[in-house]
Amino acid sequence: MDEKGHRRFQITRRTVLESGTVTAAYLLGGFPRIGLAADAADEEATLTPISVELHVNGQVHSLTLDPRTTLLDALREHLALTGSKKGCDHGQCGACTVLLDGRRINSCLTLAAMHDGQAITTIEGLAEGEALHPLQRAFIEHDGFQCGYCTSGQICSAVGMLGESQAGAPSYVTENLTEAQPSLTDAEIRERMSGNICRCAAYPNILAAIRQAAGAPT
């Protein structure tokens, strides 16, 4: 109180500490509660299973999936097609490469629900019965693998890559952009396959296998 009897607000060390404690309690307790409540609502919404029809290697599979299921997990965990491998699970290694309507994609980076009705080809679908795909044969003949973990991704990627180059798609290292079909030099193949990592470093043999399948001198 001052001399006129008015109550005065005094900032003391004690009031600062008390107000700071209240703010901290709000930040630590208040906001996270709001966030968790929102997360729970979101989770409930996203957990509602959805129906997806996946066309894989010429067969139609009707699945009921958590909408967050990646294409890779749908193939491996729901269809037991374990040829496509999970290396990094975030688009860096290429071990999960499959073909989608003939184009290569990293199946770990896309949701199964986005590919309802599209033609998906995995390594299991490349051979024609007992006859291996020319790239599969070339990988065997050139010993294009050691542990083999990257191999299905390498082969699917090479199939897509040969299709891209035959269609005339240039790469970062294509020198003559007027060519209808860029020649597949070693530099072209290396660049176009650079999304597929081989930790065994079987690159020279992978390159030789792809050159053979592409009809280039090996």
3-state secondary structure of 152: helix
Closest CA to 106 of 98, 116, 115, 114: 98
86 scored as a contact of ligand FES (CB under 6 A): yes
Q: Which of 147, 167, 169, 187 binds ligand FES (CB under 6 A)?
A: 147
Cβ distance to ligand FES smaller for residue 57 or 157: 157
CB of 78 to ligand FES, least distance (A): 17
Q: Which of 89, 124, 141, 191 binds ligand FES (CB under 6 A)?
A: 89
67 scored as a contact of ligand FES (CB under 6 A): no
123 scored as a contact of ligand FES (CB under 6 A): no
Mark out the alpha helices in the chain (DSSP H runs): 13-25, 31-46, 71-73, 134-141, 151-166, 186-192, 203-213
Residue 85 near residue 150 (C-beta atoms within 8 A): yes
Q: How far apart are CA 86 and CA 76, in angstroms?
A: 9
The site for ligand FES, by CB under 6 A, has a size of 23
3-state secondary structure of 213: helix
Interacting span for ligand FES (CB under 6 A) from 58-66, 141-149, 166-174, 185-193: 141-149
Q: How far apart are CA 210 and CA 151, in angstroms?
A: 12
149 scored as a contact of ligand FES (CB under 6 A): yes
Applying CB under 6 A, the residues found at the interface with ligand FES are 86-89, 91-96, 106, 108, 145-151, 198-200, 202
